[in-house]
Amino acid sequence: MDASIPYPDPATRRTALASVFAALDAELRGAAAKSTDASTAKSLREFTRLLSSIGPNLAAREPVGPSERLTVCRFWDVGLRTASGIPNALVAALETLGPCFSWVQNPNYRRQPPDPSFLDNYGYAVIAGPADGPPALGIDPRLALGVLLLGPHAHYPLHAHPAVEIYYTLTAGAEWWRGGGPWRQEPAGAVIHHAPRVRHATRAGVTPLLAMYLWRGDLVTHARLTGGGPAAPA
Ligand SMILES: [Fe+2]
């Protein structure tokens, strides 16, 4: 994240946020139409209902403080550069919003990191979410969405949470585990659905993983590592 990139003005932020919501809405609608699982399709449509009804003034919120950076942010630029097969408007909007992001980490992982290098290779930034959550560019009490960044080969081990979750991958090459597995590699532009409390894990490949996440339901309860489960893929 180059410090020379200008911090966007409110109008530019509003436009970029609208682009993010519109692109995600379109991608999730497409995924719902193609899904062969009725409950997943219904869940995806519920996310699109929320996305398409986000208030137009949400982006007018001024940042509450200076943007926070984490060690993993060294991979932000390469993550964006290797994003492929997804709408150009979404990549451009994220590039615009990047300087505004406040990067955070799950306090459960900060207290007890799953491995010694994890906290240097993991972080997320909230684009929209509830007012009492981590710093967000916009406030919406009904859903949380943002970006997840993992460094190369970072292993985000099995964890679970009560929120319904979607990941929308911006980069290719990461491996994903859900429920009973097995590990599977997903391309850029994949929509990955996690029902409440289902155990899931992710491991980045040789390049950083950049993905968007969306949560609805219980937005307060942080994910917890569940232990056990699959070994990291070779
Ligand atoms: Fe999750």
Residue pLDDT, tens place only, 45-76: 999 999 999 876 665 566 656 678 999 999 99
Q: What is the pLDDT of residues 160-175, one digit of tens each?
A: 999 999 999 999 999 9
Boundaries of every domain in the chain: 10-225
State in Å: Cα 55 to ligand 1 middle.
26
State in Å: Cα 198 to ligand 1 middle.
9
State in Å: Cα 227 to ligand 1 middle.
14
Alpha-carbon separation of residue 164 from 8, 142, 175, 201 (angstroms)? 31, 12, 20, 15
Fold for 10-225, please state it: Jelly Rolls (2.60.120)
Evaluate if residue 2 carries a pLDDT over 70: no
Please tell me the predicted confidence (pLDDT) of residue 227: 81
The length of the chain in residues reads 234
What distance in Å separates the CA atoms of residue 185 and residue 122, rounded to the nearest whole number?
A: 19
Q: What is the pTM of this model?
A: 0.93
What is the average pLDDT across 135-156? 95
State in Å: Cα 11 to ligand 1 middle.
32
State in Å: Cα 9 to ligand 1 middle.
32
What is the average pLDDT across 29-33? 97
What distance in Å separates the CA atoms of residue 63 and residue 42, rounded to the nearest whole number?
A: 34
Ligand 1 ion: Cβ-proximal residues, 5 Å cutoff: 165
Residue 127: closest CA among 27, 53, 58: 58
Query: H helices within the chain, ranges in order?
Result: 10-34, 38-52, 76-82, 88-97, 107-111
